[in-house]
Amino acid sequence: MASIGSAVLRSGILALSLAACAPAPDLVVYCSLDQEFAEVLIAAFERESGLRVNAQFDVERNKTVGMVQRLIAERAHPRADVFWNNEIAQTIRLKNLGLTSAFSPPTAAAIPAEFRDAESHWHGFAARARVILYRTDRNQPAPTTFDQMLEPAFAERGGLAKPLTGTTLTHFTVLGTMRGRDAALDWIRRAESAGLRWGSGNADVMRNVARGDFDWCMTDTDDAAKAIQDGHPVAIHYLQQEGPGSGTLLIPNTVCVLEGAPHRAAAERFVSWLLRPETEAMLAAASSRQIPLLAGAEAPAGVGIPGRDFTTLKVDWNAVAAALETREQEFRALLVQ
């Protein structure tokens, strides 16, 4: 028995020794985009650059918020070099907390001004649109404006994610900046009484429509694209422009170099590589169908293009970021019992 214990001990020591001898990464990336999509690009960057990347990902139920909290907790001793966020408001929040660093990649000027920081702390790319996903095999209409979701003809047949994380939190914070805090809170209260059903995330409500549990839902274009590609009888439409807080909300990925990045040169190299038309084209062609923002990025048929297929809602993103944390707490008080 003693010899077996000694063998186990030696095995454990060997494993620890091997781990200690493993080469350190050249770059650490925290990423909130779905791992299946981001990993492909990070692997391509590694092949082209020869750099070793340690990529760490968020999970669906904590989308973005969990990673942001981690970055705030690590601010005194930064571990990550780059934050690749799947939305925009939380990135601005990090800038306002002093956790990002200015860097202007070669393609910065080609990004629409509304989707890049005036001081070059963050840059947007590869966006998603907030859309209505609906069943095409039922003789029932789907809402075409934001407020129609609360009407009796629609509410009990559809749903959306609780606005506590990710793009849905961002969306409802946008609503609050446009209509006022009380209007956003009232919308949530009315949703409860109207019978609108809440899901745990955008992918969750998409699956409810795909299964036929809901006739429609509000979700993001990447989740809607998956339901379409899987062959479910579903389609999307963009919300019409009717009054403040309606229309098509476009939410880009954002990327930033973090303040105190341990591998600053590698971080700048990665951000420059990511913000290219070729990279956006890869994300547009992937099953997530991300919407390119850079001129010259190719997009396959079925990927909606701003200005051609829908009108983008104009948003004061700095105001949204400033209100985000407070709105999240208020929304949570209403929705988490």
Cα separation of 294 and 180, whole Å?
32
For residue 295, what pLDDT is reported?
A: 82
> Quick one: 115 and 160 in the same domain?
no
For residue 247, what pLDDT is reported?
A: 74
> Quick one: 112 and 143 in the same domain?
no
> Quick one: 153 and 255 in the same domain?
no
Q: What is the CATH number of the domain that holds 276?
A: 3.40.190.10
Q: Could you give the number of structural domains in the chain?
A: 2
| Class of residue 289 by CB neighbours under 10 A (exposed 0-12, middle 13-18, buried 19+) | buried
Which has the closest alpha carbon to 250: 263, 232, 236, 238? 238
* Chain segment 81-101, per-residue pLDDT in tens: 999 999 998 999 999 999 999
Is the residue at 316 inside a domain? no
Average pLDDT over residues 267-273: 98
Is the residue at 278 inside a domain? yes
Model-level pTM? Answer: 0.84
Judge whether 275 and 267 are in contact, CB under 8 Å.
Answer: no
For residue 36, what pLDDT is reported?
A: 87
For residue 268, what pLDDT is reported?
A: 98
Whose tokens are 């690749």? That residue is: 84
Cα separation of 296 and 249, whole Å?
22
For residue 19, what pLDDT is reported?
A: 40
**Residue 271 sits in which domain range?**
23-127+251-303
- Helix, strand, or coil here: 124? strand
Average pLDDT along the chain: 89
Judge whether 135 and 209 are in contact, CB under 8 Å.
Answer: yes
Whose tokens are 């999509």? That residue is: 37
Asked if the model's pLDDT at residue 43 lies above 70, the reply is yes
Query: pLDDT grade, residue 61 (50/70/90)?
Result: low
For residue 14, what pLDDT is reported?
A: 46
Is the residue at 7 inside a domain? no
HEC profile for 166-201?
A: HHHHHHHHHHHHHHCHHHHHHHHHHHHHHCCEEECC
Is the residue at 317 inside a domain? no
Is the residue at 309 inside a domain? no
* Chain segment 149-206, per-residue pLDDT in tens: 999 999 999 999 999 988 899 999 999 999 999 999 999 999 989 999 999 999 999 9
Is the residue at 12 inside a domain? no
For residue 17, what pLDDT is reported?
A: 45
Cα separation of 316 and 116, whole Å?
12
Token readout for 67 is 């990673």
For residue 246, what pLDDT is reported?
A: 60
Average pLDDT over residues 125-153: 94
> Quick one: 39 and 160 in the same domain?
no
> Quick one: 241 and 271 in the same domain?
no
Is the residue at 14 inside a domain? no
